[in-house]
Chain A
């Protein structure tokens, strides 16, 4: 009888659970429930400022945040699913069977802000400038498109990219948030015109830019997607001081800051503003790395490098540091949660990624002793930027101390830092990389041999790694690509320990609850066209 009652309760619980599950899966998401409201001006803070307005040339998000809404791209990262690529100007596209030809159909009726029609010719001219810049024109990311042989615009609405070899990252490369589509006629007259002027086909039209103060955009009534953008306009305020940005959010002078704030600032804002603030968080495609100079002894010894990574208790570091700094996830060469990321149980097998920190440290001490480097003293060069360089630097030194290493820290001013890295005047130094789109080609590029990539400050040559890079880059089958990435990761972080990864950055965006239609992505360069954003009041 007792058993029967137990089963009855259990059965009831299961039915109730299933019903709830059904309700939950059928219930529209809050995003879908709310009807976008037209009107209003979005005010956001930008910690940096665009040097010039040319997205093909610059490197700072200080350009993307205020300027991206003025432009269209060929492809873009889906504003609601950052793992997906969707068309922006491209209505559709096809890839040839051999993977060597990408053909894009350009939307009809798209107009530049001066009223002229946007055609495949403009797309071709823009990409020619990016991939094959003429003499005197700098294109900072042309290295991303080495596979492209030629760009053709056979018809007004068709553009083709002909490749030298199949490139697995081609589509994500074409969804780069930097690749603004400029007007071909303007480029033909002056390749530098877009450095000092803004004229795109995006959801907003440029109104004014007062240097050091703000930039204003107004709604583009002729935007190709009818009904969008929802906002009447936006105002980007350049606020360099973090304290002032937090105060601006708290005083409701701005709705949002798209780069990210520290955990303490999030907590303060939530405490002060309660339901008036919404917080979105995500792993962030930025990471502080430790460059180990392979040209200096004893760091040319794999055992010493492995000991340096084995000394780090990344899991405990994540728990502690995520409370005070913009770092959190323990990760390999790809952002956790993205298609090519290593699963945690696999990652735990790499040196310095296991849960048993004491065992790892024991192994580190053994390796150091074996290499004749027990009790080694060296200088760690760190960059003079407080967040998160300072807490991570202190954490690293403390971790290394636990395996008997004595580490002195030398902090170098930000502007002079890369000169030190490039000249190789260091033993061990903090390095950094931040992605504008989550893509293995981009994220692994840095770790190729130094003769292939001068930004490899480890100063090593590893042809096996180069070969693996090339294989993953050309593997059009995602599963096959994943395997090559795993092998690359194991060699880079474990077998050879060429570079050390600290912790993945963690992006925290506290924003006014009035801001709707914007979803956080793992990169602060993405989802900044603002066409989907609206204000509830």
Chain B
């Protein structure tokens, strides 16, 4: 097991390196660059200015030199400066990571708290009215984009209560009430869709597990239904659900662009889109790398959790 963990950790390095090189090249392939984006609308835009600014960003150097510099920076954990703001990339990301992480955790909590009991209940009461209600709830969640739900929430607050959530992020430890009054709504909007995905998965996994021989044996032994579900079915049914939760969590770190726009959240998703639109190469490269890292780490953690949930699983 220890070797497995070490091997997985070591494998992360070439994966990240591959991601770094691919994203570096992709950013250079798409038309337009940051100098155009930043200065082309100006009255006195000219070649001299373009050359000066391109040289300043290091864009006049050969591609392999730029790529080498970027990778060497990564090795030293130096992501460089944002081409757009000139601020250190670590600082740009740190400001937003806190919010994105909190939103991802809160949305995951909402999803888990809803999905596991509802999915289990739907499976236990298969084809009853309870199952139908839960299925309608989860299918509606799948069909409703979270940003649309967010817009509805916003409109509802505005029209009914003449109130909207705060528009500036306040860290939880500074003012929990202010923080929650801003973050709870996007967490609910995102968490609902997330819970729908997980609840559907939970229901089908639970149905499958409940038909297993060992569950039949447990029933034949006369074990209580609640004990069968808690001790034998739930843990086994959790395996695919855990995968979904892990993947969704990683997605939430950088993928909530529209929801962040609707609630004016200063998160990584919005930063991602803005930096692509501005052709802020260095920032996009760092963000892609960060999201790739989150996916790799989350997958790794999910794999380890499998062992805890199902002791039969042994990694070599």
Q: Of all chain B residues, which has the CB nearest A441?
A: B43
Interface contact A248-B84, CB-CB below 8 Å? no
> Does A143 have its Cβ within 8 Å of any Cβ on chain B?
yes
Is A4 among interface residues, defined by CB-CB distance under 8 A?
no
Pair B92/A211 contact, Cβ less than 8 Å: yes
Interface presence of A433 (CB below 8 A): yes
Which residues of chain B from 72 to 125 have a CB within 8 Å of any chain A CB? Answer: 84-87, 91-92, 95-96
A52 touches B30 (CB 8 A): no
A51 vs chain B, min Cβ distance (A): 5
B17 at the binding interface (Cβ < 8 Å): no
Q: Which residues of B contact A195 (CB under 8 A)?
A: 86
Q: Which residue of A lies closest to B164 (CB)?
A: A251
C-alpha gap A339/B38 in the complex (Å): 31
* Contact A237 B167, beta carbon cutoff 8 Å: yes
- Inter-subunit contact B43/A251 (CB<8 Å): no
The answer, yes or no, to whether B303 is at the interface (CB within 8 Å) is no
- Whether B41 and A416, one on each chain, are in contact in the complex, defined by CB atoms closer than 8 angstroms, is no
Chain B nearest CB: distance from A374 CB in Å? 35
Minimum CB–CB distance for A501 against chain B, Å: 16
A136 to B52, CA, bound (A): 7
B301 CB–A CB distance under 8 Å: no
Contact (Cβ within 8 A) A213 B168: yes
B46 within 8 A of A: yes
Number of interface residues of A (CB under 8 A): 48
Contacts of A214 in B (CB 8 A): 168
Per the bound structure, the CA–CA distance linking A248 and B168 in Å amounts to: 11
Determine which of A210, A211, A416, A445 lies in contact with B30 in the assembled complex, contact meaning CB atoms within 8 Å: A416
Kindly report which residue of chain B lies nearest to residue A137, judged by CB atoms.
B52
Determine which of A140, A248, A434 lies in contact with B44 in the assembled complex, contact meaning CB atoms within 8 Å: A140
The listed residue (B31, B44, B53, B270) touching A416 by CB distance below 8 A is: B31
B44 touches A144 (CB 8 A): yes
Cβ-based interface call for B192 (8 A): no
Chain A residue, CB-CB nearest to B41: A59
Interface members, chain A 397-455 (any B CB < 8 Å): 413-419, 422, 432-434, 442, 445-446, 454-455
- Contact between chains at A418 and B32 (CB < 8 Å): yes
B104 to chain A, nearest CB (A): 17
- In the complex, the answer to whether B157 meets A251 with C-beta atoms within 8 Å is yes
A213 touches B162 (CB 8 A): no
Q: Is the CB of A211 within 8 A of B85?
A: yes
Q: B56 touching A419 by the CB < 8 A rule?
A: no
Contacts of B26-64 to chain A: CB distance below 8 A = 30-32, 36-47, 49, 52-53, 56
Q: Is the CB of B266 within 8 A of A213?
A: yes
Contact, CB under 8 Å: B84 / A247: no
**In the assembled complex, A155 has its CB within 8 A of some CB on chain B:** no
Given that A211-B92, A247-B158 are contacting pairs, would A415 and B44 also be in contact in the complex, using a CB cutoff of 8 Å? no
Work out how many contacts link A and B, with CB atoms closer than 8 A.
Answer: 130
Alpha-carbon distance A477/B14, docked complex (angstroms): 71
**What separation, in Å, do the CA atoms of A239 and B154 have in the docked complex?**
15
Contact B56 A248 (CB under 8 A): no
Say yes or no: A415 contacts B86, CB within 8 Å: no
By the criterion CB–CB under 8 Å, are B39 and A59 in contact? yes
Q: Indicate whether A415 sits within 8 Å of B56 (C-beta atoms), given known contacts A143-B46, A442-B43, A454-B46.
A: no
A67-B220 Cα distance, complex, nearest whole Å = 75
B98 to chain A, nearest CB (A): 11
- Partner of B39 from the list A140, A210, A419 (CB cut-off 8 Å) is A140
- B39: chain A residues at CB < 8 Å are 59, 140
How many residues on chain B are close to A (CB under 8 Å)? Answer: 49
User: In the assembled complex, how far is the CB of residue B269 from the closest CB belonging to chain A, in whole angstroms?
Assistant: 11
B56 touches A138 (CB 8 A): yes
Interface residue B70 (Cβ < 8 Å from any Cβ of A): no
> Could you say which residues of chain A place their CB within 8 Å of the CB of B166?
253
When the two chains form their complex, are residues A140 and B49 in contact, meaning their CB atoms are under 8 A apart? Answer: yes
Is there contact, CB below 8 Å, between A415 and B278? yes
- In the complex with contacts A140-B45, A237-B167, A250-B158, A416-B84 CB distance below 8 A: no
Q: Does B194 contact A (CB under 8 A)?
A: no
Task: Type the 1/0 row for B1-36, where 1 means its CB is closer than 8 Å to any CB of A.
Answer: 000000000000000000000000000001110001
A244 touches B263 (CB 8 A): yes
Bound state CA distance, A418 and B42, in angstroms?
A: 11
User: A305-330: which have CB < 8 Å to B?
Assistant: none
With both beta carbons as reference points, the residue of chain A lying nearest to B274 in the complex is identified as A240
Residues on B with beta carbons closer than 8 Å to the beta carbon of A445: 43-44
CB of A138 within 8 A of CB of B271, answer no
Asked if A471 CB lies within 8 Å of chain B CBs, one says no
- Determine if A111 is an interface residue (Cβ-Cβ < 8 Å): no
User: Can you give 26 contacting A-B residue pairs, CB < 8 Å?
Assistant: A59-B38, A136-B56, A138-B53, A138-B56, A140-B44, A140-B45, A141-B42, A143-B43, A143-B46, A211-B85, A211-B92, A211-B266, A238-B266, A240-B270, A241-B261, A243-B262, A248-B164, A251-B157, A253-B166, A414-B277, A415-B277, A416-B30, A416-B32, A418-B40, A422-B40, A455-B45
Known: A211-B266, A413-B31. 4 other contacts (CB 8 A): A140-B42, A210-B95, A211-B95, A415-B279
When A and B form their complex, which 8 residue pairs have the shortest distance between CB atoms, in order from nearest?
A: A143-B44, A251-B164, A418-B40, A415-B32, A416-B32, A416-B31, A241-B261, A212-B266
By a beta-carbon cutoff of 8 Å, the part of chain A in contact with chain B is 51-52, 58-59, 136, 138, 140-144, 195-196, 210-214, 237-241, 243-244, 247-248, 250-251, 253-254, 272, 413-419, 422, 432-434, 442, 445-446, 454-455
